[in-house]
Amino acid sequence: MLAQGKLTYISYFEDIHLKDPNYYAWVTDLEVVRYIGREEYLKTIPFAEVQQYVKNLWKSKFCKFFAVYHTKTNKFIGTAKVNFINEHGLTNRIADIGIMIGNKDYWGKGLATDILRTVSNFAFEELGARKLTAGAMSPNIAIIKAFKRIGFIEEATLRQQLLKEDGKFCDHVLLGCFKIELIDP
């Protein structure tokens, strides 16, 4: 375990997670991936492509990829990512964060807020981030509220920027947070 929230904890995403059949089921479930902003996941994606994507994350000096666990059940329920993107991000200590709660049994229980707070604290305290950024598809109101609940501020809206599963476009809401703005429970 790397970091503990009130309801969840994170550890590094490892081969055991990649090979967990639930993980592949999540990334091929349109209801789960429709808001993560990865257009290639809106169609059936072979496991080999998912595997290569994860291996590229592991090799990247800019990115940390985490498995998310529910504390009470000790069950692997999703993923989280902190990505400095490139040298500019490392130099300026600006990282983008995102989460995916893949196990639908854990939706609607306030876990997103806990995961985001845990990942944000880890990024600030352990990875040395100065600022965190995030993007969300405008129809994903729950995640936008979760970000705002922990102190992220809406910085911009890119209109009709992202492709949805229905072939229509939606706004891309951009959020940001400095360590001093992060709200602890």
- Which strands, in side-by-side order, build the sheet including 75-83? 3-4, 8-12, 63-70, 75-83, 94-101, 131-137, 169-178, 153-163
Residues across the chain: 185
Residue 97 forms part of a structural domain: yes
Residue 158 forms part of a structural domain: no
pLDDT digit string (tens) for 90-106? 889 999 999 999 999 99
Asked if pLDDT for residue 161 goes beyond 80, the answer is yes
Residue 59 forms part of a structural domain: yes
Residue 153 forms part of a structural domain: no
Distance CA 174, CA 16 (A): 32
Residue 173 near residue 162, CB atoms below 8 Å: no
Residue 66 forms part of a structural domain: yes
Residue 166 forms part of a structural domain: no
**Number of domains the chain is built from:** 1
| Residue ranges making up the domain that contains 12 | 3-132
Distance CA 15, CA 50 (A): 12
Average pLDDT over residues 78-84: 96
pTM for the model stands at: 0.94
Quote the pLDDT of residue 38: 66
Residue 51 forms part of a structural domain: yes
Distance CA 129, CA 89 (A): 9
pLDDT digit string (tens) for 29-58? 988 888 776 666 667 789 999 999 999 999
Residue 182 forms part of a structural domain: no
Domain containing residue 32: CATH number: 3.40.630.30
